[in-house]
Structure 1
Amino acid sequence: MFWFLAVAMVVVVAAVTLAVIGGGESEVLPEAPPEHTVDQLPLTRPVGRADIDALRLPLAPRGYRMAEVDDVLGRLGAELAERDARIAELETALAGARAGESGRPDTFDEPGREPGEEQDR
Structure 2
Amino acid sequence: MFWFLLIALVVVVAAVTLAVAGGGPGAALPEAAPDRVAWPLPAGRPLLRADVEALRLPVTLRGYRMADADDAFDRLGAELAERDARIAELEAALAGAQAAAKGGPGLVGDTAPEDEPS
TM-score bin (small chain): 0.5 to 0.7
TM-score (norm 1): 0.59
Deviations 1:52-76 (A, max 9, x none): 1111111111111112111111111
CA distance in 2, matches of 1:53, 1:96: 37
Distance in 1 of aligned mates of 2:39 and 2:91:
32
By how many angstroms is 1:38 displaced? 6.5
Q: Encode CA deviations 1:60-97: one digit per residue, 9 max, x unaligned.
A: 11111112111111111011001000000000001111
Aligned match of 1:26: 19
Aligned-pair RMSD on alpha carbons? 2.6
Counterpart residue identity of residue 57, structure 2: L
How many angstroms does 1:26 deviate by? 2.1
Question: What fraction of aligned residue pairs are identical, expressed as a percent?
Answer: 58
Secondary structure of 1:26's aligned partner: helix
Query: Unaligned 5+ residue runs, structure 1?
Result: 1-13, 104-121
> 1:67: which partner in 2?
67
**Could you state the TM-score of these two structures normalised by the residue count of structure 2?**
0.60
Structure 1 partner of 2:35:
35
How many residue pairs match? The answer is 84
Gapped regions of structure 2 (runs ≥ 5)? 1-8, 23-28, 104-118
* 2:116 paired residue number: none
